[in-house]
Chains A and B, each alone.
Chain A
Amino acid sequence: MSDGMTQIVEVYRVDPEGGEGERVAQVAFGADWRLELLDADPDVMAPLAEAVRSVNGKEQIIELVPPDDAPEKFQTAARVTKRDDPEFFDALSRYMEKYYGFSLG
Chain B
Amino acid sequence: MIGSSRGSTATLSALQRAMSSEEKLDLLDSLRSDGMPLFDSNVPAIKDDPKRVAMRKLYHAMTLEEEFAKEDEKNRKKVIEALKGKKQELKDAKENWSIMTDEQKVALLKIVAEEQCRQFGFTMPSNGIVVANGPGSTDNGSYSPSNLNTNPPVDGPESDRIKINSSKPVLHDFEAALDLILHENTHRNQNVLCGALRYPTGASDPKFLTKDNSDPPYTQTRMFNMGNVPGGYVRGAEDYETYKKQPEEEHAWHAGPRGAQGIMDMLGKE
- State whether B264 touches A74 (Cβ < 8 A): no
Whether a CB of chain A sits under 8 angstroms from the CB of B74 is no
A4 vs B232: C-alpha distance in the bound complex, in angstroms?
51
Of residues 58 to 102 in A, which have CB atoms within 8 Å of B's CB atoms?
Answer: 58, 62-64, 66-70, 72-78, 80, 95, 98-101
| One of A62, A72, A100 near B261 (C-beta < 8 A) | A100
- State whether B183 touches A76 (Cβ < 8 A): yes
Return A61 CB to nearest CB of chain B, in Å.
Answer: 8
What residues of chain B lie closer than 8 Å to A68, measured between beta carbons? 236-237, 240
A47 vs B270: C-alpha distance in the bound complex, in angstroms?
8
A58 vs B236: C-alpha distance in the bound complex, in angstroms?
29
- State whether B145 touches A73 (Cβ < 8 A): yes
- State whether A67 touches B145 (Cβ < 8 A): no
| One of B227, B252, B257, B268 near A50 (C-beta < 8 A) | B268
What residues of chain B lie closer than 8 Å to A77, measured between beta carbons? 138-140
A95 vs B173: C-alpha distance in the bound complex, in angstroms?
11
A3 vs B180: C-alpha distance in the bound complex, in angstroms?
34
Chain A residues within 8 Å of B, Cβ to Cβ: 16, 46-51, 54, 58, 62-64, 66-70, 72-78, 80, 95, 98-101
Chain B residues within 8 Å of A, Cβ to Cβ: 41, 94, 138-145, 168-170, 172-176, 179-180, 183-184, 187, 227, 233, 235-237, 240, 243-244, 248-249, 252-253, 256-258, 260-261, 264-265, 267-270
Pull 7 A–B residue pairs with CB atoms less than 8 Å apart, ordered by A: A51-B268, A64-B183, A68-B236, A68-B240, A73-B142, A73-B233, A74-B143
